[in-house]
Amino acid sequence: RPIAIVPLVLVLLLGRQFGATLMYWLALLLGDRFTHWCEKHFPSERNVLDRLKQRLSGVAPLAVVVGRLTPGLLAPTSLACGVIGLRYRHFVLGVFLAAVILDGFFLSFGFVSARGLQYLGLAEHPWLVLVGLALAVFLVWATRRWVLRPRPRC
């Protein structure tokens, strides 16, 4: 029995928005305590959060998208946006775009792995999934090696 995709996507989007917004508002409310603690313990870094907010002001939604798509930074991105007082509309737009990208990828991957192989004329075999995963791991490794390769010093 097929799953209705529209309600599923709406639930995913609403869940991500609700969770991220809750963390954002908590960080916004408690952010002053954190900034005062940082100023007290790190006096030389007094204006770091203000500088960060100014640097992100032009690309705020994109920064939220990149932060939320980076493994391990999903929750810290929401907290950091609340602490620095990023505009809520920029934050919500970034969360929405990241959710569309991430959920779209996972739903597409699920479709391709479940039914997409049949449309391509391939039989569903576990070894095909393993070969696909091995290929994906190799591509990530090769891309990472290429991007992080040592640069010649001038």
Structural Rg of the chain based on CA atoms: 21
pLDDT-derived band at 99, boundaries 50, 70, 90: very high
What percent of the chain has a predicted confidence (pLDDT) above 90? 29
Please, where are the H alpha helices in 112-153?
117-119, 126-147
Q: Which residues lie closer than 8 Å to 118 by C-beta, 6 or more apart?
A: 124
Query: Residue 114: its pLDDT value, please?
Result: 64
At 86-95, the pLDDT tens digits run 899 999 999 9
Average pLDDT over residues 7-18: 88
- The closest of 4, 3, 7, 15 to 96, measured between CA atoms, is 15
